[in-house]
Amino acid sequence: MKSKVNEQPTNWIIEQIKLKALRRKIQILDFASGNGRNSIHLAGKNRIITAVDKNSTKLALYNHFEHINTICFDLETDKNWPLKEKYYDIIIVVNYLYRPKIKKLMSLLKNGGYLFYETYSVGNQNYGSPKNPNFLLKDRELINIFNNGNEILSYFNGKVTEEKISIKQRCLIKKTS
Ligand SMILES: C[S@@+](CC[C@H](N)C(=O)[O-])C[C@H]1O[C@@H](n2cnc3c(N)ncnc32)[C@H](O)[C@@H]1O
């Protein structure tokens, strides 16, 4: 299906998922999915996407796509998330950070599942938005949050130039318990 979304997807995530997971049907959660640039690139017969975001206008850009289920929900309220526990093979989170509930992401993953996390980190305030420390990871913060009971498969913190020059952290975590 043709997409109205022109933004490039997050390449390190898209490439690794396409390499890892072509032989069986997998469930992927795109957490705070925005205008769906990553959901749209990943969706396929063997890759079923759940895309959750609080912005219904953005979700409407791709809620008609095959293999994508959209959920409009505010992930930062006290309400329970409308997401299945131990269900997803892969979760991706890009350019979104809400620390009070971040650890809960692992409860949505199957054992052996993967969390791909990429967002802005400290130092980004020198290049542009976001500048608010609530939205900027500290060095090694994703490792420190997720290393207990999980395996950190890759970690990066520094300058990236793909979308715009910015300081970002990328972490790939495997759920092992
Ligand atoms: C910077 S965009 C990133 C979107 C997408 N992950 C991407 O990389 O293209 C952040 C997204 O988080 C969503 N968001 C912010 N707060 C949220 C909340 N409380 N609950 C659900 N989604 C939220 C916004 O609506 C927005 O689409």
Indicate if ligand 1 lies below 6 Å from the C-beta of 94.
Answer: yes
Evaluate whether residue 63 is within a structural domain: yes
Surface-to-core class of residue 2, CB atoms within 10 Å of its CB (0-12 exposed, 13-18 middle, 19+ buried): exposed
Indicate if ligand 1 lies below 6 Å from the C-beta of 96.
Answer: yes
Evaluate whether residue 3 is within a structural domain: no
Q: Say which amino acid occupies 20.
A: K
Ligand 1 atom nearest the C-alpha of 75 is 20
Evaluate whether residue 60 is within a structural domain: yes
* pLDDT tens per residue across span 9-51: 999 999 889 877 567 899 999 999 999 999 999 999 999 999 9
The DSSP symbol for 12 reads H
pLDDT, position 48: 97
Write out the E strands in 84-143.
88-94, 109-120
Compute CA distances 56 → 25, 49, 63, whole Å.
27, 17, 10
pLDDT, position 22: 61
* pLDDT tens per residue across span 83-141: 999 999 999 999 999 999 999 999 999 999 999 999 999 999 999 999 999 999 999 99
Compute CA distances 169 → 12, 42, 52, 166, whole Å.
12, 21, 22, 10
**Structural contact between residues 60 and 50, judged by C-beta atoms closer than 8 angstroms:** no
- With vertex at residue 110, the alpha carbon angle to CA 108 and CA 69, rounded to the nearest 5 degrees, is 55
| Predicted model pTM | 0.96
Average pLDDT over residues 162-167: 92
Q: How many independent structural domains does the chain possess? A: 1
pLDDT, position 5: 62
Q: Which CATH number do you get for residue 42?
A: 3.40.50.150
163 versus 32: which is more confidently predicted? 32
**Structural contact between residues 170 and 155, judged by C-beta atoms closer than 8 angstroms:** yes
Ligand 1: which residue has its CA nearest to atom 25?
55
Indicate if ligand 1 lies below 6 Å from the C-beta of 151.
Answer: no
Evaluate whether residue 130 is within a structural domain: yes
Of 55, 83, 115, 119, the one to substitute when testing ligand 1's pocket (max ligand atoms within 8 A of C-beta) is 55
User: Domain residues for 125?
Assistant: 11-175
